[in-house]
Amino acid sequence: MTSDSPTAQVGTRNTRQKAAVLNLLQDNPQFCSAQQVHVQLVNSGEGIGLTTVYRILQALAGAGLVDVLRTDTEQLYRHCSPTHHHHLVCRSCSRTVEIEDRAVEQWAAQAAAEHGFREVTHTVEVFGICAECG
């Protein structure tokens, strides 16, 4: 049975805070940090703690509803399409393109199988300088 509540996809209960984070992300196509999300919510009148923002973002990431981009110093979050994909990120301006390819999935699965590994997951990030910055 699928959930009809907007926030039920993460955790077991619907809370004001989950809805607020989710709404903010859906309205914003940019990557933003947990701290930025927190400040924006507080400024817009939402009562929410920084810890809670971190936890909700983490849960959303685990559920595949947001992308996580780990920079050297911090982690950035962005609402994303729910299908499996990877990122092509500009080192200069952070412009991001979602990319997908079966070949990589198969390569990862096969490499793992050859060494007797099961329950395989993988992380892939591609970085470069985009055309506009180049």
- Sites of contact with DNA (CB under 7 A): 5, 8, 11-18, 33-35, 47-52, 54-56, 58, 72-75
User: At its nearest, how many Å lie between a copy of itself and the CB of residue 27?
Assistant: 25
User: At its nearest, how many Å lie between a copy of itself and the CB of residue 36?
Assistant: 21
User: At its nearest, how many Å lie between a copy of itself and the CB of residue 87?
Assistant: 10
User: At its nearest, how many Å lie between DNA and the CB of residue 37?
Assistant: 10
Residues 6+ apart with CB under 8 A from 52: 17
Beta bridge partners of 70: 75
First vs last C-alpha separation in the chain = 49
Site string for a copy of itself, 70-109 (x = CB under 8 A): x-----------------x-xx-----x-x-x-xx--xx-
CA dihedral 33, 21, 90, 127 (to 10 degrees): 90
Interatomic CA distance for residues 34 and 75, integer angstroms: 8
For a copy of itself, the closer of residues 8 and 126 by Cβ is 126
Geometric angle at alpha carbon 34, from 29 and 35, rounded to 5°: 115
